[in-house]
Structure 1
Amino acid sequence: MPPPPPPSTEDPPSMSGSVGSVTPAFSPLYQQIKGLILHSLQHGEWKPGEAIPSEIELAARFRVSQGTVRKAIDELAAENLVTRRQGKGTFVSTHTERQVQYRFLKLLPDEGDASVEGPAQRTILECRRARASVEVARILALRAGDPVIQIKRILSFTGVPTILEDIWLPGQAFKGLTAEQMAHYQGPTYAMFEIDFGVRMVRAEEKIRAVLPDETQAQWLNVTCSTPLLSVERLAYTYNDAPMELRRGLYRTDTHHYYNELS
């Protein structure tokens, strides 16, 4: 029996057992389907690395055409939220995949590439539960005084301290995070967040400026106070633009460069 005809934009699709439209009814139909798929991703229906249903199955589920579903998935793939694998299907993107790992790694060696250099050696200077300041609360969409996890660490490459980072994470989402976890996890930090806490970073915004370090920062990075550094402030988001990490780093660029690909 053929599937029922696609609904009009005045009659948005709904998900069985959930609320109706996740996006406004005036948005294009494929955008509504994209919103419903995002809703399922956000609520863990399909985990990172798992296959999502086929386009035909999703079309039947949402009572729309396969072409509408394909257009929605095209956008999700372009945003690196899902990954198409030829002959295998479409999978939820994960930070354990090589191509996704390096989306967020912007400091690269002048000679060779990141894979040749190997993973950073992590030195955790501090990992503690704290109360969010007014500024941190505003950036992470919390209330002042809400619990946060505050981390300070050094990332070294081939034994050379290269990045000094301060990280703030919402305390509720990362309850139980320890310095040992941060120091000893062998893969990317975002993969550990994904596996151990179910938080997947899907995009980030960064502000970059040139600065000089203060005396303490210079000591941690083994440079002089007159050494120019890159100051990089990153705000990383999970699904539905929920901010989940504030990261402020100082980067040495005497043997590395900050790389960004624009398209």
Structure 2
Amino acid sequence: MDGDDLLSAWDLVKSYGGVRALDGVDIRLRGGEVHALVGENGAGKSTLVRILSGSLAPDGGTVRLAERARAGGIAVVSQELSLFPDLSVRENLFPRHPPRRFGLLDRGATDRAARPVLAELGLDVDTGTPVGELPLADQQLTEIARALLRRPRVLVLDEPTSALPAAAVDRLERVLRTLTGRGIAVLYVTHFLREVTRLAQRVTVLRDGRVTLAGVRGAEVGVPDLVRAMLGAAPPPPVRRGRTPVQGPPPVVLAGVCVPGRLTDVTFAVRAGEVVGVAGLQGAGHLDALAVVCG
């Protein structure tokens, strides 16, 4: 283990029946760095994360946590939220051993402890609000805040931006800079390759349980390099298809549609021969817009 390493693993092997999920995987997480872990579905990323966090034993290999990292340990923020939707934000932030006063939850103490972390994440919410009433992006940030309150030395973020809008991703980038400035090692698992070149100091790529790109500097690789390491081949050239416009008025038009508390000035048209995608986070109003279209 190098002196800068907070967590090291080498020659990790894990099989499920006749399927080799990990085959001789090495990885080193250095303090003060964001280390991106990239690979297709089924490449072995989740298995590696579970082994590094101690929730799954490998069939072979070694995982070593540096002495100075053992007090804070490892915190994992999974892609699937593990929040309690009917409990408040403060109760979710301190699920196991919350501060208590006369046997009851000490709301003042929990809020004082949580306020700096919530501010770092740009999460401006009433801590008494049930988590299930928050937008999905705020729920994701609440999950990250809960992990940070444990003061980990190694933080694993598994697809943290999958449900976040662009503004929240920018906030997360600022938080990552703050955390790495404190010497924390961040393992950043993602499918968004441009995030890798933007956020990560180092990158490891898995394919079929093997390392195909090992701890290279993020500034030294581009998206085509990552795709090649993930797929074993160069990315195919983009295909441009021509489109023949269809004459006549569009059969579906929404113009300035408003639904109190749900939609404000929604305007779009669907023309014949087109496929129009309508997307948004939970609660953004895209389902309400479709309900209006359907009458």
Instruction: With the length of structure 1 as denominator, give the TM-score of the two structures.
Output: 0.29
Pick the structure with greater CA Rg: 2
Structure number with higher relative contact order (C-alpha < 8 Å, ≥ 6 residues apart): 2
User: What TM-score comes out, normalization by structure 2 length?
Assistant: 0.27
